[in-house]
C-alpha cells in the first residue's frame, strides 16, 4: 500500500507565504513519519521553498495549459518544474477552471508529474475521473476552512467518491479535504477508503504548526 498522502495547501495565508512558507517547509520536512507530506505552495514560492527544504515534496497550487509565448499572467508548467515543483493542484474550489482546461493541462505535463484535481462532490469527481488525473481530492466548498471535517459532516461524500472514481479508473488516488484538522480526521479519511487528505488552515493558521503536523501523522 502506498504511503498515506497529506497535502498542505498554503493558499495566500500570510503564515504560509514568502519567508513564512520557507519556515513551514522546514518544519514539514522535519516531521518523522512514513506518510507522504506535500506542500502546495504559491508559484512565487516554489524556488525558495525547495531550496529551504530540498527533501520536501513541493507542488504548486495552479498551472495553466500553456507553453512559452504570449501568455501574460499565466503560470507556465515548464518553469514551475524548473523551479522544483513535482506536482500541482487543479480546479480547486477557489480557482475553478473548465474540465477541458484540466484535460489540456494533463496532456502537456510530463510523465510522473502529479496533478490533483479537486471536486466539490462525487458527481464532479466522476467527471474528473474520466480525464484520468493521478489524483482527485473531493472537498465540499461549504466545509472548506471550517471546524467540522467532511469525514464527520458527511462521510458518504468520501466513500461514494472513492467508489465512483475507482470503478472508472482504479489507478486514481482519491483524497478528501474540507475541515480536516487532526489525526483523527486523517484516520477517518483512510478508513473511508481515501488515500490521504488535502488541508490548509488547520496547519497554516495554527499557533503551533509542527504540533499539528505531528498530530496529523500520529495515526499512520
pLDDT, tens digit only, all 220 positions of the chain: 689 999 999 999 999 999 999 999 999 999 999 999 999 999 999 999 999 999 999 999 999 999 999 999 999 999 999 999 999 999 999 999 999 999 999 999 999 999 999 999 999 999 999 999 999 999 998 888 777 788 888 899 999 999 999 999 999 999 999 888 999 999 999 999 999 999 999 999 999 999 999 999 998 8
Residue 74 falls inside a structural domain: no
Return d(Cα 43, Cα 60) in angstroms, integer.
6
In a domain, 24, yes or no: yes
**Is 139 part of the annotated catalytic residue set?**
yes
Element of type H or E holding 92: none
pLDDT of residue 1: 61
How many Cα atoms within 13 Å fall on the side-chain side of residue 163? 7
The beta-strand segments (E) located in the chain are 5-9, 36-41, 57-60, 87-90, 114-119, 135-138, 173-177, 196-199
The residue annotated as part of the active site, out of 22, 57, 139, 173, is 139
Number of domains in the chain: 1
**Rounded-to-integer distance, Cα 76 and Cα 58, Å:** 16
Which residue of the set 92, 114, 124, 173 is catalytic?
A: 92
57 catalytically annotated: no
Q: Which domain holds residue 197?
A: 5-68+81-216
What gap in Å lies between CA 5 and CA 177, rounded to an integer?
A: 12
The answer to whether position 9 is within a domain reads: yes
Asked if residue 139 belongs to a domain, the reply is: yes
Instruction: Report if residue 75 sits inside a domain.
Output: no
CATH of the domain at 178: 3.20.20.70
Amino acid at each position: 500500500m502506498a504511503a498515506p498522502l497529506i497535502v498542505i495547501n498554503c493558499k495566500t495565508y500570510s503564515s504560509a507565504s514568502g519567508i513564512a512558507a520557507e519556515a513551514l517547509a522546514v518544519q514539514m520536512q522535519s516531521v518523522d513519519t512514513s506518510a507522504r507530506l506535500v506542500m502546495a505552495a504559491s508559484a512565487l514560492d516554489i524556488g525558495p521553498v525547495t531550496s529551504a527544504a530540498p527533501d520536501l515534496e513541493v507542488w504548486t497550487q495552479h498551472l495553466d495549459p500553456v507553453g512559452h509565448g504570449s501568455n501574460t499572467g499565466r503560470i507556465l508548467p515548464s518553469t514551475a518544474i524548473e523551479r522544483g515543483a513535482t506536482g500541482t493542484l487543479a480546479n480547486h474550489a477557489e480557482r475553478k477552471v473548465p474540465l477541458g482546461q484540466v484535460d489540456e493541462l494533463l496532456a502537456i505535463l510530463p510523465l510522473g508529474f502529479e496533478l490533483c484535481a479537486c471536486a466539490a462532490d462525487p458527481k464532479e469527481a466522476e467527471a474528473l475521473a474520466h480525464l484520468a488525473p493521478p489524483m482527485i481530492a473531493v472537498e465540499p466548498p461549504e466545509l472548506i476552512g471550517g471546524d467540522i471535517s467532511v469525514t464527520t459532516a458527511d462521510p458518504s461524500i468520501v466513500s461514494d467518491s472513492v467508489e465512483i472514481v475507482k470503478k472508472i479508473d482504479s489507478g486514481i488516488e482519491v483524497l478528501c479535504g474540507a475541515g480536516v484538522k487532526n489525526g483523527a480526521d486523517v484516520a477517518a479519511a483512510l478508513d473511508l477508503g481515501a488515500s490521504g487528505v488535502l488541508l490548509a488552515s488547520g496547519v497554516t493558521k495554527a499557533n503551533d504548526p509542527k504540533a499539528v503536523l505531528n498530530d496529523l501523522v500520529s495515526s499512520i
